[in-house]
Structure 1
Amino acid sequence: MNRQNYRQAVLIAITDPTLHPEASHVAAATGREVIATTDPREIARHAAKAAAVLVDATTAGHVASVNANTIVLLANDPGPVDWQLAMNIHAEAAMLLPAQAPELLALLGRDDPTPPSDYALIAVCGTAGGAGTTTLAASIAMSLEDACFVDADPYSAGADLVFGVESEPGLRWNDLGNDTQALPAEALQKALIQGPEGVSVLSNSRSGAPPQGQQLAGVLGSLRGASHVVVDCRIGTELATIARDHADACVLLIPAEIRGAACAARVQEECHNARVRTVGVLRHRGWSGIDAEEAATIAGVEIVAEIPTIRGLAKRMELAGLHGPPKPLQRVASSIVHALAHAGGSYE
């Protein structure tokens, strides 16, 4: 099984030209991947998945409100250390380099932090149009206890139609402002459309602009750890990239065709580079050109489930929505959840 269990990286967000190489040297000695950036957007994107975030006085303000496991404020020897700043950003430690390099090495060498909750963030991406990505994502969300479905397809006509809750009250993307990161998760979930099986649904509307990248990043940052989050993505878009980078895992829906599998190989490589583990689901539609083994070989991802052609599903979706997934989709969703949990996440 392609479990893709990585050690978490060290994020170095340091502008000081003397301090940066000292911190890089210590981080590299741990054997962890080192990610270096001073861009506030990149810092926010990587911080939640990093084992530790190393900052200096210039970049400290960028991590004050991000969800990070461990923050370390660094300064050049002989100092002094700005302890007030360290407290303001909730730093676990403040150190001087190179004098305290051994202490920093010991801190970075610890085991990866335990995930702060049992909730997961899952991105679902189809590798060809018309594969049924939204239907699969909705089925996964309904298979999880306490889940939020996020419509992140900029060309979606509204995921509320998929759930059959288009007439229900609740906030949609065009009701949210730009500063979505400041939204309390519990209040946001309660304000969304309440779908079947207890799923809260953040949907596009039939009018108004689709969500912007900043909005999606803020919502995912807010919801992370408060519930399971399943994100419906369209590959090749900015929103899909943001969802992938926030996700704990990515589910690739692959039509049983060579082109779909070849596309999946590119997406799998991007996920691997972003340190996001992936699983594949093979979708049979009409005529299948490849089987699960061939799809896995071409795409480079484990196929954990297969979706057959489900008779009457299209009519059911059109007339009433997916109030309860049919048995084949329930089994597929369960297989996905089991595979992701076995790969090192808490999804059940």
Structure 2
Amino acid sequence: MNTAPSPGRERFILVAVAEPAAHPEAVHVAAAAGRPLLDLLVDVEDEAERAAELARHLPRAAAVILDAAAAADLDSVTARPGVFAVAADPGPAPEVEVGGALVPGFVVPAQSPELLAALGAALRGATSAPVDAAGTDSTRARPGRAPHDGTSERDGRRRGVGNRRGPGGGDAPRAPRAAAEPGRGRVLGVAGACGGAGASTLAAACAVVAAADGTAALVDAVANSGGLDLLTGDEDTTGLRWGDVDFTRGEIPAGDLVEALPETREGVWLLTAGRSVLAAAAGPGPGEVVAALGVLRREAATVVVDLPPWGPMTDEVSDACDLVVVLTPAEVRPTAAAARLCARLESRRTGACVLVRHRGWSSLTLDDVAGLTRARVLGELPTHRGLARRAELGGLGGPPRGLARVAGLVLDELRGAR
């Protein structure tokens, strides 16, 4: 995930965080900012050498994320903007001085959205947003505050046709970690508790329903999925796929990216796998997916990412999601897997809810699933006869009424309206 800056290029983010619990979150936030990343913990193993490298790179970095241990190694440096200190939950927020000046401190992952907002402001050279003593941007939305109104940085919403572009039970879930802001859309993760649950179809339906009210993007994060463009019927639509651009190197303007992506007939920007041997070999890692989500959410009001049921991809990418919906068949083994996934999401402070699907014979009720997963069960995903055939022959298109209704429930949960 680390990307060392090329010689002469100064717009990189320097991460010097040795605290094991805070380090991965700091790297995730830095990657989401869309700049080259220099992670000293990875690049330099010797502590003394790492301190020297920190002092050497500090003046050239566009922004710096460090912890108290790293700051203690800086003996004589000049105070500068764009330096942020982090400490792991439960805190307290770190009080760190660099060059005799107190730098903004954040507790991660609880304040990761605020850190990302402050980091983005520093990278843009913004100075108008007030920052309080805890280091948080007081003009930014917090979890539980008023939701995003669906607008984006660009006027209107683009529609595309083909290649043409134009203008029930359980404990209540933890609130999503980030409320959406103007210019920062929400990210919804969709994961099946097992293969064949229908998570990809649900993810595509959520993106289509979201696109009816605002800008929306659909991201494929499932290795060897074959490509979500096959599900949406856009395999012949021109545009960038995974492997065509490296999201971990340099800044990618969000507007330029969405102009280059395939767009479905329903107006959804699509980032999915290519089907060449080279593209398959260079499939995205978790860090690249996280970085891509950081770019896309600057342009799309809603970004939906199709996640695998388990593994590093789900662990790391779910950290960048405001909500993850887990789709499980109402069967014993898938529900047990869903319970483990929900517990893991809870431990990582990611909001989660559950949808249930009955396929053939099922032994569990919605209340059974709620009790086993200890998560909010939104309802049941209906099975539509003929939907698989329709998607196979011409693409999913507009989802059937029952599927669209459930997708609407998920998006309401994402927006915090329920």
The question of a shared fold, defined as TM-score above 0.5 by the shorter chain, is answered with yes
Task: Choose from 193, 198, 206 the match for 1:140.
Answer: 206
SS of the counterpart of 1:246?
coil
CA distance in 2, matches of 1:67, 1:264: 38
1:52 matched residue in structure 2: none
Q: CA RMSD in A?
A: 3.9
Contact (CA 8 Å) 1:180, 1:218: kept in 2 or not? no
1:174 aligns with 2:170: no
So what's the TM-score if we normalise by structure 2? Answer: 0.62
Going from structure 1 to structure 2, the CA distance change for 1:72 and 1:333 (only over 3 Å counts) comes to farther
Match of 1:28 in 2: none
Larger displacement relative to structure 2 (281-290 or 170-179): 170-179
Q: CA deviation at 1:246?
A: 1.2
Structure with bigger helix share is: 1
1:91 Cα deviation after fit: 5.5
Moved more, 166-175 or 324-333: 166-175
- Taking only the aligned residue pairs, the percentage that are identical comes to 33
Name the residue aligned to 2:78: 82
Aligned to 1:248: 322
* Residue from 267, 273, 287 that aligns with 1:204: 273
Q: Deviations for 1:267-288, whole angstroms, at most 9, x for unmatched residues?
A: 1111111111001111111112
Cα shift readout 1:174-215 (whole Å, capped 9, x = no counterpart): 322363562221111111111132101111122232223342
Residue 45 in structure 1 maps to residue 41 in structure 2: no
Name the count of aligned residue pairs.
Answer: 303
- Identify which of 221, 230, 235 aligns with 2:304: 230
Matching of residues 54-203 of structure 1 within 5 Å = 58=54, 82-83=78-79, 86-87=80-81, 89=82, 96=97, 107-108=133-134, 113-114=140-141, 115=179, 116-117=181-182, 119-144=185-210, 145-177=214-246, 179=248, 182-203=251-272
**Shift of the alpha carbon at 1:129?**
1.1
Find the aligned partners of 2:250 and 2:355 in 1 and give their Cα distance.
32
Closer, same or farther: CA 217–338 of 1 in aligned 2, 3 Å: closer
Question: Per-residue displacement from partner, 1:72-109 (whole Å, max 9, x unpaired)?
Answer: 999569976622xx22x366999539x988x9797228
Which range moved further: 225-234 or 320-329? Answer: 225-234
* Alpha-carbon distance change, 43 to 104 in structure 1, aligned in 2, over 3 angstroms: closer
Q: Give, in angstroms, the shift of residue 167 of structure 1.
A: 1.1
Once the two structures are overlaid, the 10-residue window that deviates more, 334-343 or 59-68, is 59-68
Deviations 1:159-185 (A, max 9, x none): 001111111111111322363562221
Which piece of structure 1 moves more, 71-80 or 106-115? 71-80
Deviations 1:312-347 (A, max 9, x none): 111111111111101011000011111222379xxx
Contact 1:72 1:95 in 2 (8 A): yes
Superimposed CA distance per residue, residues 31-87 of structure 1 (whole angstroms, 9 cap, x where no aligned partner): xxx9533xxx642215699xxxxxx9939859956799x99999569976622xx22
- Over 3 Å counting, the alpha-carbon distance change for 1:308 and 1:58 in structure 2 is same
Closer, same or farther: CA 289–77 of 1 in aligned 2, 3 Å = closer
Find the partner of 2:413 among 322, 339, 346. 339
Distance 1:201 1:62, change over 3 A: farther
Aligned partner of 2:226: which letter? A
Distance 1:104 1:66, change over 3 A: closer
Deviations 1:115-155 (CA, angstroms, capped at 9, x unpaired)? 54351011110001111111000001111121111111102
Deviation of 1:243 (Å): 1.6
Instruction: Give the Cα–Cα distance (whole angstroms) in 1 for the partners of residues 95 and 221 of structure 2.
Output: 39
5+ residue gaps in structure 1? 1-11, 21-33, 50-55
